[in-house]
């Protein structure tokens, strides 16, 4: 799934802006033919969640309807035309000019439809029905009635069209996909490029790699739909967290001496592997400092906001983080592109949070998780910043979990054998799935949900547990979540729960445990920023306050502590050249 580009052969139009919108609380839209358009509506911003855009219906989860009128660009004749949605949560159905073009389940990952035979030159009507209602059959699943809305996960179930909707045109025959894998032999970078095309007998693939004063070119005749080409870059500039060097790769499809299609992407030459109890980037130990985080901001919810992405990267750089996990769903393509450019390491996670393994839904959940891992790897496989795939966050205990995750692990490994794979485990869950993981990721809140207020006791328990886990599995461990809810401006002496002082003490002592264990390869604080949740007795104002920054990105005391520990006191295994 190549992200749309603009060049001589490819074009796109961003349909972001104000659309027409209406709620459908009685679910009557299909019966009343709203698929062909509806008159009673209000304006809504796209992309953005619908929940906080209006003064009413904040907790309405769907169904709801969007529509937009647009014109086909006049110069798109003899092109394949595709409509692409970056993320719609959760169920979506799409009609163009009254004709159904497709359905998709699951938020946070892109989907697209070929509308070449349905689009007209003038007055196209695009209608999208979105249903975000919670269900045990969905992934993530609905929870028990202990909070409102009734989620089985600790973040708000924002609904709507969350990322850009792009109308794009490509040649009717040409390039379809590119896969890049890199390796290193001493100072030489090996770049293996797999190019998928239409059946184009007699055509050629031209490759051009440019960067750092070098240019490599390669031409291959197209004999099959997939061409495999290897480039060797002598004295290559490798990609890493300190110097995220990127080369420019351009693929041209040539037929009858004319270029008929072209695509460019950034390539970072790097390797990532697990060896013993270390995580190696380009053959050298790397220690992860960073966060779990959320795509979450006031009013726009989970909607794509370029300025917030820039702000979050700026804060992570200021604090000295080198990594983050896309908890608990894939983030936008733009977020991933900037991770490549800025040198951040990413644990890339599918939206499988809170899996229950209920016998009535386990088959459906496996089907959806398989779909998600396919969509995620297809989307993010070429990012040098992506160092690990995460198959789930905090699944429940079950004797069936081993078989379930073995199937997902095998699928991910078949799609991409170049990255480690993990599953993020929570407290109190049997670690059957750890037997297949390459890295153990654990979320631990001793001193908060358990042993509340007693950080010293909590750290003793944590220390013994991680020693036991390592002795059993002999695999590197990341503390992928740890933190304490902290009300901004609330202070106490001695430190008490919910105070900024307690958050500082909690994080500092957890990090001391991490640094004392040679097999621990990373510390990810939960969370970068406060974020919206369902309402419940543990969530004042429907907010999780574990951020070291507030929801509007103001620092708490803990942010300054982390800046001291990460920016000015190098971790034990800090990556360096």
Model confidence pLDDT, tens digit, residues 277-301: 999 999 999 999 999 999 999 999 9
Going from the C-alpha of 150 to that of each of 67, 103, 141, the distances in angstroms are 29, 25, 10
Would you state the pLDDT for residue 577? 26
- Domain boundary at 141, 171, 201, which? 171
Instruction: Judge if 431 and 461 occupy the same domain.
Output: yes
Instruction: Judge if 255 and 399 occupy the same domain.
Output: no
Residue 17 token pair: 């802006």
Instruction: Judge if 153 and 194 occupy the same domain.
Output: no
Residue 3 lies in a domain: no
Catalytic residue among 93, 295, 481, 523: 481
Residue 574 lies in a domain: no
Instruction: Judge if 140 and 235 occupy the same domain.
Output: no
Instruction: Judge if 332 and 213 occupy the same domain.
Output: no
Residue 379 lies in a domain: yes
Beta strands in 212-331 (DSSP E): 214-221, 226-233, 247-255, 258-267, 272-275, 278-281, 284-285, 288-292, 323-325
Residue 77 lies in a domain: yes
**CATH at 142:** 2.60.120.260
CA 424/CA 391 separation, integer angstroms:
8
Instruction: Judge if 292 and 361 occupy the same domain.
Output: yes
Instruction: Judge if 27 and 89 occupy the same domain.
Output: yes
Would you state the pLDDT for residue 574? 42
Model confidence pLDDT, tens digit, residues 93-145: 999 999 999 999 999 999 999 999 999 999 999 999 999 999 999 999 998 77
Question: Total domain count for the chain?
Answer: 3
Would you state the pLDDT for residue 187? 98
Is there a catalytic annotation at residue 481?
yes
Instruction: Judge if 161 and 190 occupy the same domain.
Output: no
Would you state the pLDDT for residue 145? 72
Catalytic residue among 105, 394, 500, 505: 394
Instruction: Judge if 77 and 226 occupy the same domain.
Output: no
> Which pTM was predicted?
0.96
Write b or e for each residue in 73-112: b if 16 or more Cβ atoms lie within 10 A of its Cβ, otherwise e. eeebeebebbbbbbbbbbbbbbbbbeeebbebbbbbbbbb
Instruction: Judge if 259 and 288 occupy the same domain.
Output: no
Residue 255 domain boundaries: 175-267
Would you state the pLDDT for residue 427? 79
Is there a catalytic annotation at residue 394?
yes
The CA-CA-CA angle for residues 569, 482, 59, to 5°, reads 130
Going from the C-alpha of 560 to that of each of 2, 47, 246, 283, 497, the distances in angstroms are 40, 33, 32, 32, 19
**Which helix H or strand E contains 40, and what residues bound it?**
none
Instruction: Judge if 293 and 423 occupy the same domain.
Output: yes
Instruction: Judge if 344 and 483 occupy the same domain.
Output: yes
* Helix 333-342 with 306-319: angle, nearest 10 deg: 30
Residue 542 lies in a domain: no
Ranges in the chain, pLDDT < 70 = 431, 570-577
**CATH at 247:** 2.60.40.10
- Domain boundary at 171, 192, 224, which? 171
């Amino acid at each position: 799934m190549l992200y749309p580009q603009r060049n001589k052969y490819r074009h796109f139009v961003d349909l972001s802006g104000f659309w027409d919108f209406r709620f459908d609380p009685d679910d009557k839209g299909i019966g009343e033919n709203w698929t062909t358009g509806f008159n009673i509506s209000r304006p809504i911003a796209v992309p953005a969640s619908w929940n906080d855009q209006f003064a009413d219906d904040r907790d309405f989860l769907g169904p709801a309807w969007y529509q937009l009128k647009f014109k086909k660009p006049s110069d798109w004749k003899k092109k394949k035309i595709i409509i692409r949605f970056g993320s719609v949560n959760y169920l979506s159905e799409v009609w163009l000019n009254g004709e159904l073009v497709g359905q998709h389940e699951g938020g946070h990952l892109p989907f697209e439809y070929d509308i070449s035979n349905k689009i007209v030159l003038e007055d196209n009507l695009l209608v999208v029905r979105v249903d975000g209602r919670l269900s045990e059959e969905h992934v993530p699943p609905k929870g028990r009635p202990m909070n409102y809305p009734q989620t089985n996960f600790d973040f708000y179930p924002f609904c709507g069209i969350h990322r850009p909707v792009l109308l794009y045109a490509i040649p009717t025959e040409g390039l379809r996909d590119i896969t890049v894998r890199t390796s290193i032999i001493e100072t030489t970078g090996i770049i293996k490029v797999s190019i998928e095309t239409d059946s184009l007998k007699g055509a050629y693939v031209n490759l051009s790699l440019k960067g750092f004063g070098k240019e490599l070119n390669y031409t291959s005749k197209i004999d099959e739909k997939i061409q495999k080409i290897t480039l060797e870059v002598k004295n290559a500039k490798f990609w890493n967290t300190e110097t995220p060097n990127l080369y420019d790769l351009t693929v041209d499809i040539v037929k009858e001496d004319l270029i008929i299609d072209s695509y460019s992407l950034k390539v970072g030459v790097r390797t990532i592997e697990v060896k013993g109890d270390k995580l190696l980037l380009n053959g050298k130990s790397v220690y992860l400092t960073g966060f779990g985080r959320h795509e979450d901001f006031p009013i726009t919810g989970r909607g794509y906001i370029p300025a917030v992405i820039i702000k979050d990267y700026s804060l992570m750089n200021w604090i000295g983080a080198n990594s983050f996990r896309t908890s608990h769903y894939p983030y936008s393509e733009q977020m991933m592109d900037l991770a490549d450019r800025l040198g951040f390491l990413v644990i890339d996670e599918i939206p499988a949070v809170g899996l229950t393994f209920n016998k009535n839904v386990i088959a459906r959940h496996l089907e959806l998780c398989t779909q998600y891992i396919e969509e995620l790897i297809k989307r993010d496989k070429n990012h040098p910043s992506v160092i690990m795939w995460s198959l789930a966050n905090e699944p429940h205990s079950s004797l069936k979990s081993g078989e379930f995750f073995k199937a997902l692990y095998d699928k991910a490994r078949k799609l991409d054998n170049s990255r480690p794979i993990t599953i993020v485990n929570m407290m109190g869950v049997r670690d059957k799935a750890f037997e297949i993981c390459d890295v153990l990721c654990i979320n631990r809140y001793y001193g908060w949900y358990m042993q509340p207020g007693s950080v010293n006791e909590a750290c003793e328990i944590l220390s013994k547990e991680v020693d036991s886990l390592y002795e059993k599995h002999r695999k590197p461990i990341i503390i992928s979540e740890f933190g304490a809810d902290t009300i901004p401006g609330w202070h106490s002496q001695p430190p008490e729960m919910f105070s900024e002082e307690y958050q500082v003490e909690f994080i500092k002592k957890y990090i001391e445990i991490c640094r004392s264990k040679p097999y621990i390869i990373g510390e990810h604080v939960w969370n970068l920023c406060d974020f919206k949740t369902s309402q419940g007795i543990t969530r004042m104002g429907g907010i999780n306050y574990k951020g070291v920054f507030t929801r509007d990105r103001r620092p708490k005391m803990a942010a300054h502590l982390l800046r001291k520990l990460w920016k000015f006191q190098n971790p034990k295994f800090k990556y360096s050249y």
